[in-house]
Amino acid sequence: MQKDLHFFDTSDYPQTHPLYCEINKKVLGKMKDELSSSLALEFVGLKPKMYSLKSAEMEKKTAKGVSKIIIQQQIRHTDYKETLLYRRRGLAKAKK
C-alpha cells in the first residue's frame, strides 16, 4: 500500500502509524479506510450504502434512507446478519 499511497486518504490513521499522511485529507475520489487501520472482524453488505463493519474497537453501520438515530439506537450488527441469512428485506421496518 505504501507505493500506492497517492490513491488513499490515510489522514484518520494514528499519527504514529507508518502510513499516516495528510496530503489526501478529505479529497474527493480518494479511497478511505473506514476502520482507520484496525482490522475488520465481520462485514455484512446487504446492498449499496447499507452495510455493517465490525472490528474489535468499533462498529460502523450505514443504511441510506434510515435516520441516524434509528441506526445508532435500534439497529445492531446482528440485525444485518439476520437480514442477510434469514430475511429478504425489512431491516429498518422490523424495528418500528
CA 6, 30, 40, 38 torsion: positive or negative? positive
pLDDT for res 33: 86
Q: Quick: pLDDT tens for 64-73.
A: 999 999 999 9
SS3 45: strand
pLDDT for res 2: 83
CA 24, 30, 36, 39 torsion: positive or negative? negative
Q: Strands, DSSP E only, in the chain?
A: 8-9, 31-32, 40-47, 50-55, 59-63
Q: Quick: pLDDT tens for 8-36.
A: 999 989 899 999 999 999 899 999 888 88
Q: Residue 93: pLDDT above 80?
A: no
Q: Once rounded to an integer, what is the mean pLDDT over residues 81-88?
A: 86
Q: Residue 89: pLDDT above 70?
A: no
